Structure 1
């Protein structure tokens, strides 16, 4: 064989889609199987590229706690997948200690939740559960399917000039992943052949004319300036639809979920497993119960190049896992990627992995003895989240109703866009703590809300230690920037929702509000300022984003370019919720799956272009 031919074959082996160079070398390594990494790894394999998908947790897809969406409260509390991050909401320790669900370790696997801990209790903080399992947090959430606002996609265009992110272009990503099961076939806004089932809630309760629940529904529709009182009209709008100016429409909707018509949860785990079992034998390898400890680099190139990852194998190795045994370790080894390493560990773990690998703020890394590969000060910064809050009370008699869901704009909103996603019904949800929620009985009535477009992204994810099994220090710094504006919007929303309750009439009234304005609604003396202060301390969240944010070339805090490439190094990308430059809409899970589809398109097109260029050069 000629030297030239040998060179051609060697180069081809490095770029060919399905060639595995050795037992531990793949074209791509994807770290994390959640809404970002799971679909991406499956798409790469289906495009013919050998792909290793690494997941720290196990597979709970056959466990009814996870597979049946109705069990989501149990799923989020379940130790089989739960990772507990204990976070702060502010730099004010006294304020955080006033959070009603501050959690303390009382030993032996028990907790105290509240503001008057017993002697000897160890402060943990505010619980922020994540899911360490195949499919990631899509496996333990409430399954709400909601879309980003157009401005969330256009933000990338404005920062980078990459017009492929323009909002009119991205509907195709929803259509590519969606298997819609609630709209008639052929609706141009939806997809029907994807891997993600979508369905809607049962609103038959709204047909009960003049019931207390329907009276509240009708009053809320009036407050949102909807003229019709017909429930078929009120719930007839498609919450995932694509009408003109959709982000400015205040309306009641039928809540959509990423589940099928039988209530079975639909997640990236399903796509992963179907890819693995497909008769086409796509080159996807799944490695579970494996903790990635760092990215490996070749530092001899002009820019450091990611060439693989170091892994530690074993179950419950990460200390966020309540099943973790102190001191437990696993065998350490390395696996390699001939093309790229893609980090999809989520908003907390992706910046942690980058920093452990030497990519992050120089001073932070050097203080922990980590060799700096690339000084990238934005890694772990700009942490943002939707503020979540609720108004809850006890009715005189139970209200027969399901969920009244609405996306709407408060009159004092900072922009013309909708800023509140709310849902009201006979339930209780007040945030996260071990064993949540509190069950107040049959008479409980709540309106929960998610604040869309939070204006403060001042949080951070920073290393406590250089130990990859340790959890990072997480501080959201709620309301630090423009906090009074966001709080005023939450208060305005609460006042409007409370007004709808007064329409319930007999036998539901009077309603004793528990918070934010304790007492009989309509009579309790509670100012807007009092409510704002309540939310300042008691707001919670579950939609963290933006710690490895896409940004402009000129921005020293930008971590990624518009193609998800980590700046200043080669062969390394981040594809998950941490990539969003701002919090996308009310529930980031489906937007992040769409983002994953976009990343798949970008990465596969780039790889095939490189392959085609190489083929042409050697023809």
Structure 2
């Protein structure tokens, strides 16, 4: 398969940007990155009255229908206007990586080749992991699924740090603070109705039509997951963001919630930042777009002094478009470096790939790695860039004899072989195709296509890493997820069991759709012929699993925990004036989709910072 490499709008390969160095400026807070972690945090700090600079490497596409309309999310993730291509590894073994069916190559003639038989001379790139360089971050190109982690995913931080504000019961308040619910009757005391983040759901009435073939699939899946199949249509309308006892052990259907309004308009940090910028007299927020942060600056008098913690005082930047080499429009652009100062703090919110890169370029990270690139050591923190984790994802894709007229079936359930009582599979089924990420995804297999996509939760292995390739801030780090490295057989067996349950439900579909012809994991009649058992499917998922919820590379942990990077208030251990607030802070992957949980911790971080500042101001008045 060949795909266009660059937009036709790119006419020439030019460009060293000759811009004058930016004038020095000082703000109370500098926030680096405008995604689910940084965007809401910057807006909240400005709304509390603190001068705040929000820096974003991309532009603003908030008025572009490709981004503002949820229906176009596949186009948004493919759009070169905002896309950053990280070519990642799943394994240390290159041969294992090259089994991935959507391995991508640069043909050298302006196109990508995707597949396992590249043309002669093609340059190997790897496995695409697109991120969004745009105001609002990846919340501007995702499918906007809004779900919450298991309680244990919050409580692990309590256990590590002793900070009870991270308890699952307390973290619910942050959903309420940000939410503008558009699908429940008003008055639920546990939900928000006047926040900045709209939440909505889709229709489920189709499930009451017993002649609909997909209703048969729904009922069969209900029976297979311990639900009352006679109430399947009612259960499909359940609120996925609900709070009930033993929720994490309860297999159920849900109506998929999205951070979008009830007209299909995407809601994200973009909306909140823009609303804050709209009242500059009241809210002192400044936004710098197309600005690449190259490193955090430190007060040199505090670096390397025994008994003194280094203090962050600002950032170094480069200004211009497409400066980062992950940008497919990058053509060697560079720009002079300038500095911006922070009177209070620098907060890094670049995401699970870029936050550890920025810390390392700034001298914070494993000392041996920094020494390799002659980066002066500010603070030895071996956990920076380690502990990279993600959900494992895969799908069952089959072709019916006729199109399946179906709404979306969403379920969260426990496979019988799960190691504990918690649910471990999040699935959504419908007449679509989703098989991972590559340039030009997804493949349209025809109107008869039907997919059950599945996300494996609570992955046992978080052995991945983000390491520097060089000291060049425009360079892209080396990213290796090391899939299934720890307890891999257990995770693979859970994926296979989940697939078997979904397959049995799908194959209950009646004529004229029946019989489904499976494309994967069990192609054609392999299963009927006894040639697609557990081991065969394990090998399929081992080579073809994908992911797009990277977390945990600057993980919160106790001060005596060797690989911890942050304390429970997001402060970098052993450094003053520096925090990291984004999905990299989670010690473990937070549930099935990290977007809404990351927005929640962004609000928590703002609350923590403002409380600290108020306390300092009160103490200063006493003196």
Task: Name the residue aligned to 1:411.
Answer: 416
The answer (yes or no) to whether the contact 1:510–1:520 under 8 Å persists in 2 is no
Per-residue deviation at 1:108? 3.4
Alignment of 1:81-92 (within 5 A): 81-92=82-93
Structure 1 residue 568 and structure 2 residue 565: aligned? no
Structure 2 CA distance, aligned partners of 1:553 and 1:469? Answer: 32
Structure 1 residue 106 and structure 2 residue 107: aligned? yes
Superposed CA RMSD: 1.1
Task: Name the residue aligned to 2:62.
Answer: 61
Aligned pair partner of 1:548 in 538, 542, 554: 554
Could you say what secondary structure the match of 1:285 adopts? strand
Structure 2 CA distance, aligned partners of 1:57 and 1:41? Answer: 16
Structure 1 CA distance, aligned partners of 2:354 and 2:280? Answer: 34
The gaps in structure 2 that reach 5 residues or longer are 1-22, 303-307
Aligned pair partner of 1:446 in 445, 451, 454: 451
The answer (yes or no) to whether the contact 2:204–2:233 under 8 Å persists in 1 is no
Task: Name the residue aligned to 1:337.
Answer: 342
The answer (yes or no) to whether the contact 1:513–1:521 under 8 Å persists in 2 is no
- Cα offsets for 1:40-97 (capped at 9, x unmatched): 0000000011000000000000000000000000000000110000000000110101
Query: Normalization by structure 2: what TM-score?
Result: 0.94
Structure 2 CA distance, aligned partners of 1:416 and 1:487? Answer: 18
Runs ≥4 residues deviating over 3 A: none
Task: Name the residue aligned to 2:604.
Answer: 598
Task: Name the residue aligned to 1:320.
Answer: 326
Structure 1 CA distance, aligned partners of 2:556 and 2:423? Answer: 24
Task: Name the residue aligned to 1:18.
Answer: none
Structure 2 CA distance, aligned partners of 1:112 and 1:521? Answer: 29
Aligned pair partner of 1:536 in 516, 539, 542: 542
**Aligned positions, number:** 595
Judging changes above 3 Å, is the alpha-carbon distance between structure 1 residues 573 and 212 closer, same or farther for their aligned structure 2 residues? same
Alignment of 1:450-469 (within 5 A): 450-469=455-474
Judging changes above 3 Å, is the alpha-carbon distance between structure 1 residues 245 and 562 closer, same or farther for their aligned structure 2 residues? same
Could you say what secondary structure the match of 1:366 adopts? helix
Could you say what secondary structure the match of 1:159 adopts? helix
- Cα offsets for 1:296-325 (capped at 9, x unmatched): 001313111000000000011001011111
Task: Name the residue aligned to 2:400.
Answer: 395
Structure 1 CA distance, aligned partners of 2:471 and 2:46? Answer: 33
Structure 2 CA distance, aligned partners of 1:593 and 1:602? Answer: 14
Structure 1 CA distance, aligned partners of 2:106 and 2:527? Answer: 40
Task: Name the residue aligned to 2:499.
Answer: 494
Structure 2 CA distance, aligned partners of 1:507 and 1:521? Answer: 22
Structure 2 CA distance, aligned partners of 1:608 and 1:235? Answer: 46
The gaps in structure 1 that reach 5 residues or longer are 1-21
The answer (yes or no) to whether the contact 1:510–1:521 under 8 Å persists in 2 is no
Structure 1 CA distance, aligned partners of 2:198 and 2:136? Answer: 14
Structure 2 CA distance, aligned partners of 1:322 and 1:228? Answer: 49
Structure 1 CA distance, aligned partners of 2:258 and 2:526? Answer: 32
Alignment of 1:251-330 (within 5 A): 251-278=252-279, 281-301=282-302, 302-326=308-332, 328-330=333-335
- Cα offsets for 1:107-162 (capped at 9, x unmatched): 23311111111110000000000000000000000111111111111010010111
Structure 2 CA distance, aligned partners of 1:460 and 1:566? Answer: 18
- Cα offsets for 1:439-472 (capped at 9, x unmatched): 0001101100011111100000000000000000
Could you say what secondary structure the match of 1:292 adopts? strand
Structure 2 CA distance, aligned partners of 1:365 and 1:587? Answer: 32
Alignment of 1:144-293 (within 5 A): 144-278=145-279, 281-293=282-294
The answer (yes or no) to whether the contact 1:512–1:521 under 8 Å persists in 2 is no
- Of stretches 423-432 and 207-216 in structure 1, the one that deviates more from structure 2 is 207-216
The answer (yes or no) to whether the contact 2:509–2:515 under 8 Å persists in 1 is no
Task: Name the residue aligned to 1:39.
Answer: 40
